[in-house]
Amino acid sequence: MKPIIGFYGFWVYLTYLSLISAVVGIYFAVQGQIKYALICLLVSGLCDTFDGKIASLKERTEREEGYGIQLDALADVVAFGVLPAVIGFVIGQKTGEVGVISIIIFSLYVLAALIRLAYFTVLEVETQGKEEKRTYYEGLPVTIVALIIPVVYAVCTIFDLPLFLIYNVLLAIIALAFVLRIKIYKPNTLMKVVLCLIGVPILILIIVNGVI
């Protein structure tokens, strides 16, 4: 029997997968399996990068479009807000370095991601159905953390750098970048593919060599 709540179709499957991957990533993180949590973060980033493109293949009603906008933002809060913070907490627990400052940084990071996603969800709803398209982002888009965090983690591990300290500084900078009104070029489909390909060596490094 078809569920009563929600709108269902191929156009939302990638968003659902992104959320599921994030939840699985949180599970791996709290189990201390950081490398698998990072793989889940990469998968969520891949799904979020192309879910809008997939959704555009279907002619949707106004309600379906609104549902997709809300769904994407809520999934992103978990995948690119909560999951990176949980990874940070677990890293700190493993090294015994978690303190008040770290808790504040990770909390503000999640808050900044939430504020950004809520704000731009409002803007998306307002511009729904209009032909004008943005050519740039205001502030750092949350999806990019799916690439930044695994790269920084891998570099710290390979070169034996102070991981937890760098992770704290990184999330603090990213949180600020989420809410600053700085213009960032919005990548086209080709650029998105290139960014995904950049993540491939990191994924291979995590899976094959087990540096993380």
pLDDT digits (tens, 9 = 90+) for 27-68: 999 999 999 999 999 999 999 988 877 877 778 888 888 888
pLDDT digits (tens, 9 = 90+) for 59-95: 888 888 888 899 999 999 999 999 999 999 999 998 8
| CATH number of this structure's domain 10-209, picked from the four choices 1.20.120, 3.40.600, 1.10.3470, 2.60.40 | 1.20.120
Position 212 scores a pLDDT of 42
Rounded Cα gap, residues 46 and 190, in angstroms: 14
Rounded Cα gap, residues 111 and 176, in angstroms: 11
User: Across the strands, what pairs with 184?
Assistant: 137
Give 157 or 42, the one with higher predicted confidence: 42
Average pLDDT over all residues of the chain: 86
pLDDT digits (tens, 9 = 90+) for 110-155: 999 999 999 999 988 777 656 556 667 788 999 999 999 998 998 8
Tokens of 52: 């809008």
- Tell me the mean pLDDT in the region 167-173: 97
Q: Does the model's pTM come out above 0.85?
A: yes
Residue type at position 180:
L
Rounded Cα gap, residues 191 and 144, in angstroms: 13
- Tell me the mean pLDDT in the region 199-212: 60
Position 95 scores a pLDDT of 83
Question: To 5 degrees, how large is the angle CA 69–CA 135–CA 183?
Answer: 95
Query: What DSSP string describes the chain?
Result: ---SSS--SHHHHHHHHHHHHHHHHHHHHHTT-HHHHHHHHHHHHHHHHHHHHHHTTS---HHHHHHHHHHHHHHHIIIIIIHHHHHHHHHHHHHT---HHHHHHHHHHHHHHHHHHHHHHHHHHHTTT-S---SEEES--GGGHHHHHHHHHHHHHHTT--HHHHHHHHHHHHHHHHHS--EEEPP-HHHHHHHHHHHHHHHHIIIII---
